[in-house]
């Protein structure tokens, strides 16, 4: 199976532009040299009764009905690009393809006298470039998936993570990329809990894995790495730890290893709490969040204290490399993973990955990536990196962040949040970005 | 004796879709595909364009040459299913070869009906269902001037237009009072007839042929009203009907076609049928119907294959909805679902004489039952889905009536995420 690049549409952003139709004009221009929306292959249609706008565009389906309905072979699915190609010289204008499509992705143009559909502008979509609100984006992470597909997944199949678990995706992607010359530590948390550390006398990984205490992950890895160095073997000492194992119970050993700049790749998978033991709050749990230890009742309205910003704390250790990442932006993550891996040969590298948790945060398992994305787009979870001696650097700057509700509204754990709390959260977000910007020299 | 797991008879839309679907879930079990045709698989729908010369036969092959090899499918062309031994799970082909199967799909389509017109059997005439028919008709049309087409159904109309494009004088003789009955109402049919007339095709509607006889290299056609026509070339397009002799001795039940349930199962064990050969559930009523359209052949082929492979994603067949995207002389007539109102339906019609546009919406309890249009932009697939999903249009009714295209797009796009 090959993955392909695609256009993504965010109706909540599209709403902001007041029917600018810039994408439509751009498409009509680039395809037919006209401003007439009739020539556009992308259509934005108003939603009803206050619903956000909708997009009618060819989805370049995997098993396309339009192609199956075509008697002339004018339509074909291109296995290399993933595009549904339309060949004018073969088309007989029977319009049967329009019967196949449920989304208005291929339509008849009465002036051109034939059907027309999106061809992704040969990988340089004019509509995306024209979109002023960022509602359209061209997703090019397919290349990563195709490349990773060639590598071996170093976790065993059948781990018992929850449906839609972001942490499982992070683990599998990360270890696959880091490769087999690795010793992995997974302190107590969801990651070993889902079976990666082992079950029935076998490990859940295809690399050596161990289960340190919550308190000593970084120090055990430091010792292991030293021993491998002595033996002359180049082995990556890697931790996949939760936010509790990294920032609360495990913090002194983590801080010590960072201070010594030990050669470790430490990945913190931050789901804002102790999810596998029953969703208790941790130091990373954000202000206002419902957890089982920060309940919502007549007195308490979720967590009363703010989350500590572990990534910034780690940056202040001045170790080799520190970065935040999100699975909604995998290209960004992969670049950081490459840098972190290289940095871990020199010293301590720390990656902090936001990991919204469908079970503990109470959102549908299909929404994991959407929650990740909105976290970044509201600046709740900004993406940045820091290299020893340099400035902090935003890797995906958000100039016009969505209001923080756009993120909070997705998760049940914020359902009770009142106006006052909301204002407080928004203020915290703003302050955090201001602080980060200072570090970035802005 | 040869053995196979899946035996598929017919290599057109229904059969090819079934093979595709089988391979999506079952990569290894042997598939054998038998087809009567000697040509590489093609769509019968393309044939009129082969006649006019617009489409070259070698460019309309539905699967690339290496497809069957790549997917481990044994393709047997220029052969034919002639009998089935249902208890022994064996078929016999015309060549005498016998094949043992575990599951059998009948997707053998339909063949032209030859009406019992006196003199027809002694007169040379054409039909249009196979590539060879189209090539013969094209070659003949290249040498003569006058064509008569019997029948104003889909095949007759497409055939007539393309013979006209090939430069012939064309006359259509049709028993009914209107063209394309069942798909379009009288008003839409009139627009189509008008375009045919305007493009030099003579339309003899409501005319019955009583006799046909050879005349020189061509023929003479006598009508009930006493008129007669002479033609160099006669195309008989009076309907299609499955050819089912191979079912003799089986328990497969037949009416106009092979009767199937909503999983495309026939009454015989381990035998399925799909496409033009099958008579399956109607979307609107209780009686099983013959659909005879391409999109439905694809759908039925998919359903059959999913049931044959025990694919748990299978959704039973919802029932046939008539669909026609008919293009003629640069105009479009589109009809999805019911085209004629009855007492239970709300009918909304909009006519724009100046631009030759026409739109008709049929609703039942605010759910779309049918929509037809002339020269209006129309997403047939969206309308089909709105009908199949019985989408309640109450909250958007006014918008839908005013702007069915945009409203339909918004409705369906909102189901995407
Ligand atoms: C001229 C013309 C125009 C058309 N225009 C349209 C249109 O505009 N829109 C639309 O929706 N539909 C149209 N159709 C109808 C459409 O082509 C059919 O509905 C569709 O092809 C049905 O597909 P099928 O696979 O069921 O059968 P068919 O396409 O008929 O294929 C049957 C297959 O079975 C094989 N076969 C037959 N008998 C045997 C046997 N005994 N053993 C083995 N193999 C056998 C044949 O060789 C062939 O491969 C048109 C048809 C024609 C002829
Ligand atoms: S035109 Fe429609 S059916 Fe075809 S690929 Fe695009 S969205 Fe899918
Ligand atoms: S990618 Fe190009 S063809 Fe497709 S909708 Fe955008 S501008 Fe039009």
Q: Do residues B145 and B166 both lie within one domain?
A: yes
Q: Which of A404, A365, A411 is nearest to A272 (CA)?
A: A411
CA quadruple A177, A183, A187, A190: dihedral sign? positive
Our measurement of the distance from residue B32's CA atom to the centroid of its chain's CA atoms, rounded to an integer in Å, reads 24
C-alpha–C-alpha distance, residues B216 and B146, integer Å: 13
Q: Do B55 and A90 touch (CB under 8 A)?
A: yes
CB of A103 shorter than 6 A to ligand 2: yes
pLDDT for the residue A27: 97
B315: in domain: no
Give this prediction's pTM: 0.86
β-bridge partners, A27: none
Mean pLDDT of B285-289: 96
Which of B327, B406, B413 lies closest to A94 in CB terms?
B327
- The CATH number that applies at residue B361 is 3.30.390.30
Quick check: B125 pLDDT over 70? yes
Mean pLDDT of A257-280: 97
B313: in domain: no
Q: Do residues B22 and B82 both lie within one domain?
A: yes
Q: Do B382 and A104 touch (CB under 8 A)?
A: yes
Which of A51, A69, A90 lies closest to B294 in CB terms?
A69
The SS3 of residue A205 is strand
Considering only the top CATH level, what class is A152-439?
alpha beta
pLDDT for the residue A110: 84
Quick check: B123 pLDDT over 80? yes
Q: Do residues B173 and B221 both lie within one domain?
A: yes
Pairing label, strands A182-185, A236-242 = parallel
Residue A321: both structure tokens together: 């490399």
C-alpha–C-alpha distance, residues A238 and B5, integer Å: 50
C-alpha–C-alpha distance, residues A86 and B230, integer Å: 42
- Per-residue pLDDT band for A50 (boundaries 50, 70, 90) equals confident
Number of structural domains found in chain B: 3
- Per-residue pLDDT band for A52 (boundaries 50, 70, 90) equals confident
Instruction: Give CATH 3.40.50.970 domain extents, chain A.
Output: 152-439
Which of A47, A63, A65 lies closest to B410 in CB terms?
A47
Query: Cα dist. B198→A393, B141, B193, B401 in Å?
Result: 70, 21, 8, 32
Q: Do residues B270 and B297 both lie within one domain?
A: yes
Virtual torsion, Cα A213, A216, A219, A224, nearest 10 deg: -10
Pairing label, strands B228-231, B357-364 = unpaired
Ordered DSSP codes for A99-110: HH-SSS-EEEET
β-bridge partners, B350: B359
Distance between A334 CA and the closest CA of chain B, angstroms: 26
Q: Do B334 and A103 touch (CB under 8 A)?
A: no
The SS3 of residue B184 is coil
Percent of chain B at pLDDT exceeding 90: 91
Q: Do residues B102 and B248 both lie within one domain?
A: yes
**Proportion of chain A in helix, strand, coil states, percent, rounded to 5:** 40, 15, 45
Percent of chain A at pLDDT exceeding 90: 88
What are B88-109's pLDDT values in tens digits?
A: 999 999 999 999 999 999 999 9
Q: Do residues B26 and B104 both lie within one domain?
A: yes
Question: A113 — alpha (psi -120 to 50), left (phi > 0) or beta?
Answer: left
pLDDT for the residue B341: 86
**Cβ atoms within 10 Å of B59's Cβ, excluding its own:** 15
- The CATH number that applies at residue B101 is 3.50.50.60
pLDDT for the residue A329: 93
Ordered DSSP codes for B319-381: -B--EEEEEETTEEEEEEE--S--TTSEEEEEEEGGGTEEEEEEEETTEEEEEEEESS---HH
Q: What is the DSSP letter of B186?
A: H
* Domain end position, chosen among B239, B254, B281: B239
Q: Do residues B92 and B135 both lie within one domain?
A: no
Q: Chain-wide mean pLDDT for chain B?
A: 95
Element at B219 (helix H, strand E): strand B218-223
B20: in domain: yes
CA quadruple B343, B349, B353, B357: dihedral sign? negative
Collect all residues of chain B within an 8 Å Cβ-Cβ radius of residue A104: 379, 381-382, 405, 408-409, 412-413
B58: in domain: no
Residue B372: both structure tokens together: 């037809």
CA of B123 to the centre of ligand 2 (A): 46
Q: Which of A361, A379, A362 is nearest to A324 (CA)?
A: A379
Q: Which of residues 233-292 of B touch A (CB under 8 A)?
A: none
What are A128-179's pLDDT values in tens digits?
A: 999 998 899 999 989 888 988 889 999 999 899 999 999 999 999 999 999 9
Query: Cα dist. B283→B277, B348, B373, B404 in Å?
Result: 18, 22, 21, 22
- Contact call for residues A117 and A39 (beta carbons, < 8 A): no
Distance between A66 CA and the closest CA of chain B, angstroms: 9
Element at A386 (helix H, strand E): strand A384-387
For the beta sheet containing B271-273, the strands, ordered from the edge strand earlier in sequence to the opposite edge, are B73-76, B31-34, B6-9, B103-106, B271-273
- Contact call for residues B21 and B302 (beta carbons, < 8 A): yes
Mean pLDDT of A404-432: 97
- Per-residue pLDDT band for B18 (boundaries 50, 70, 90) equals very high
* Domain end position, chosen among B239, B265, B296: B239
Q: Do residues B106 and B246 both lie within one domain?
A: yes
Quick check: A49 pLDDT over 80? no
Virtual torsion, Cα B123, B124, B130, B132, nearest 10 deg: 160
Q: Chain-wide mean pLDDT for chain A?
A: 95
Most confident of A132-146, A194-208, B40-54: B40-54
**Is A6-143 in CATH node 3.30.70.20?**
yes
Find tokens 């025990």 and name the residue: B310
- Contact call for residues A48 and B399 (beta carbons, < 8 A): yes
Burial code (b: 16+ CB inside 10 Å, e: under 16) for A72-87 equals bbbbbbeeebbbbebe
Q: Do A93 and B327 touch (CB under 8 A)?
A: yes
Q: Do A96 and B294 touch (CB under 8 A)?
A: yes
pLDDT for the residue B181: 81
The answer to ipTM > 0.90 is yes
C-alpha–C-alpha distance, residues A391 and A387, integer Å: 7
Find tokens 């199962």 and name the residue: B265
C-alpha–C-alpha distance, residues A303 and A291, integer Å: 8
- Per-residue pLDDT band for B417 (boundaries 50, 70, 90) equals low
Domain that holds residue B93: 2-38+77-110+242-308
* Domain end position, chosen among B274, B308, B342: B308
Q: Does B332 touch chain A (CB under 8 A)?
A: yes
Mean pLDDT of B229-253: 97
Ligand 1 pocket: which of B109, B161, B325 to mutate (most atoms <8 Å of CB)?
A: B109
Rounded to the nearest 5°, which phi and psi values hold at A103?
-125, 10
Element at B233 (helix H, strand E): strand B233-236
Quick check: A105 pLDDT over 70? yes
Shortest-distance Cα residue to atom 4 of ligand 2: A66
Query: Cα dist. A187→A82, A164, A165, A210, A272 in Å?
Result: 41, 22, 18, 8, 16
Q: Do residues B235 and B250 both lie within one domain?
A: no
C-alpha–C-alpha distance, residues A91 and A98, integer Å: 13
Rounded to the nearest 5°, which phi and psi values hold at B348?
-125, 125
Q: Do B60 and A43 touch (CB under 8 A)?
A: no
What are B141-172's pLDDT values in tens digits?
A: 999 999 999 999 999 999 999 999 999 999 99
CB of A108 shorter than 6 A to ligand 2: no
β-bridge partners, B67: none
Q: Which of B327, B375, B376, B335 is nearest to B162 (CA)?
A: B327
C-alpha–C-alpha distance, residues B113 and B129, integer Å: 11
pLDDT for the residue A15: 84
Which of A55, A90, A99 lies closest to B380 in CB terms?
A99
Q: Do residues B138 and B235 both lie within one domain?
A: yes
C-alpha–C-alpha distance, residues B297 and B106, integer Å: 12
C-alpha–C-alpha distance, residues B53 and B141, integer Å: 10
Q: Do residues B132 and B202 both lie within one domain?
A: yes
């Amino acid at each position: 199976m090959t993955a392909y690049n695609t256009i993504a549409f965010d109706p909540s952003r599209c709403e902001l532009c007041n029917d600018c139709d810039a994408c439509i004009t751009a498409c009509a221009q680039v395809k037919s040299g006209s401003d007439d929306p009739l020539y556009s292959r992308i259509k934005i249609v108003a939603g009803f009764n206050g619903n956000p706008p909708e997009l009618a565009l060819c989805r370049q389906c995997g098993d396309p009905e339009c192609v199956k309905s075509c008697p002339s072979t004018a339509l074909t699915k291109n296995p290399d690009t993933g595009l549904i190609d339309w060949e004018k010289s073969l088309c007989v204008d029977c319009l049967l393809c329009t019967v196949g499509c449920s989304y208005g992705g291929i339509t008849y143009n009465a002036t051109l006298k034939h059907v027309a559909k999106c061809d992704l502008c040969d990988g340089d979509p004019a509509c995306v470039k024209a979109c002023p609100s960022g509602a359209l984006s061209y997703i090019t992470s397919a290349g990563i998936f195709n490349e990773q597909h060639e590598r071996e997944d170093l976790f065993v199949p059948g781990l018992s993570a929850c449906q839609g678990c972001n942490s499982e995706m992070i683990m599998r992607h990360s270890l696959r990329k880091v490769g087999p010359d690795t010793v992995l530590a997974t302190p107590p948390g969801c990651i070993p809990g889902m079976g990666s550390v082992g079950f029935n006398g076998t490990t859940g990984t295809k690399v050596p894995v161990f289960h340190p205490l919550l308190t000593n992950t970084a120090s055990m890895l430091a010792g292991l790495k030293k021993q491998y160095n002595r033996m002359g073997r180049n082995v990556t000492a890697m931790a996949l730890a939760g936010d509790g194992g990294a920032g609360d119970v495990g913090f002194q050993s983590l801080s010590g290893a960072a201070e010594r700049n030990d050669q470790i790749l430490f990945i913190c998978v931050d789901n804002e709490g102790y999810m596998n033991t029953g969703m208790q709050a941790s130091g990373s749990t954000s202000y206002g969040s419902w957890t089982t230890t920060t309940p919502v009742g007549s007195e308490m309205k979720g967590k009363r204290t703010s989350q500590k910003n572990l990534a910034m704390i780690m940056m202040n250790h001045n170790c080799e490399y520190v970065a935040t990442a999100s699975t909604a932006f995998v290209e960004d993550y992969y670049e950081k993973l490459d840098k972190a891996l290289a940095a871990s040969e020199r010293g301590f590298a720390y990656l902090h990955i936001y990991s919204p948790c469908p079970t503990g945060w109470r959102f549908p398992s299909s929404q994991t990536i959407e929650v990740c994305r909105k976290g970044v787009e509201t600046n709740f979870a900004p993406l940045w990196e820091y290299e020893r001696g340099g400035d902090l650097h935003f890797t995906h700057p958000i100039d016009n962040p969505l209001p923080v509700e756009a993120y909070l509204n997705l998760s049940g754990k914020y359902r009770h949040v009142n106006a006052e709390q909301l204002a407080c959260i928004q203020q915290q977000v703003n302050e955090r970005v201001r602080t980060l910007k200072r570090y970035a020299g802005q | 004796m040869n053995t196979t797991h899946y035996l598929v008879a017919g290599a057109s839309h229904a059969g090819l879709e079934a093979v595709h679907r089988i391979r999506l879930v079952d990569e290894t079990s042997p598939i054998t595909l038998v087809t009567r045709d000697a040509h590489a698989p093609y769509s019968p729908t393309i044939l009129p364009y082969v006649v006019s010369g617009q489409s070259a036969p070698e460019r309309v092959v539905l699967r690339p040459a290496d497809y069957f090899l790549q997917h481990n499918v044994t393709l047997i062309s220029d052969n034919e299913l002639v009998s089935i031994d249902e208890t022994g799970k064996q078929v016999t082909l015309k060549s005498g070869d016998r094949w043992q199967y575990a599951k059998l799909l009948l997707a053998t389509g339909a063949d032209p009906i030859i009406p019992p017109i006196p003199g027809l059997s002694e007169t040379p005439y054409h039909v249009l269902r196979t590539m060879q028919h189209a090539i013969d008709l094209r070659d003949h049309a290249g040498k003569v001037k006058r064509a008569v087409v019997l029948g104003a159904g889909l095949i007759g109309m497409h055939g007539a237009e393309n013979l006209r494009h090939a430069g012939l004088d064309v006359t259509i003789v049709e028993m009914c009072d209107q063209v394309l009955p069942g798909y379009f109402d009288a008003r839409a049919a009139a627009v189509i007839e008008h375009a045919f007339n305007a493009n030099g095709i003579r339309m003899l509607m409501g005319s019955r042929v009583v006799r046909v006889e050879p005349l020189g290299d061509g023929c003479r056609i006598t009508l009930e009203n006493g008129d007669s026509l002479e033609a160099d070339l006669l195309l008989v397009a009076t309907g299609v009907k499955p050819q089912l002799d191979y079912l003799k001795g089986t328990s497969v039940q037949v009416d106009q076609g092979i009767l199937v349930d909503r999983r495309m199962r026939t009454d015989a064990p381990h035998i399925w049928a799909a496409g033009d050969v099958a008579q399956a559930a109607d979307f609107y009523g209780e009686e099983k119907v013959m659909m005879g359209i391409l999109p439905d052949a694809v759908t039925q082929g998919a359903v059959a294959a999913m049931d044959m492979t025990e694919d748990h994603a299978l959704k039973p067949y919802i029932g046939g909805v008539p669909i026609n995207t008919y293009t003629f002389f640069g105009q479009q007539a589109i009809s999805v679902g019911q085209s004629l109102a009855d007492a239970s339906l709300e009918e909304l019609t909009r006519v724009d004489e100046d631009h030759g546009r026409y739109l008709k919406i049929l609703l039942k309890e605010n759910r779309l039952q049918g929509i037809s249009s002339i020269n209006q932009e129309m997403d047939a697939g969206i309308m089909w889905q709105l009908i199949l999903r019985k989408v309640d249009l109450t909250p958007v009714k006014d918008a839908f009536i005013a702007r069915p295209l945009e409203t339909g797009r918004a409705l369906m796009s909102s189901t995407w995420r």
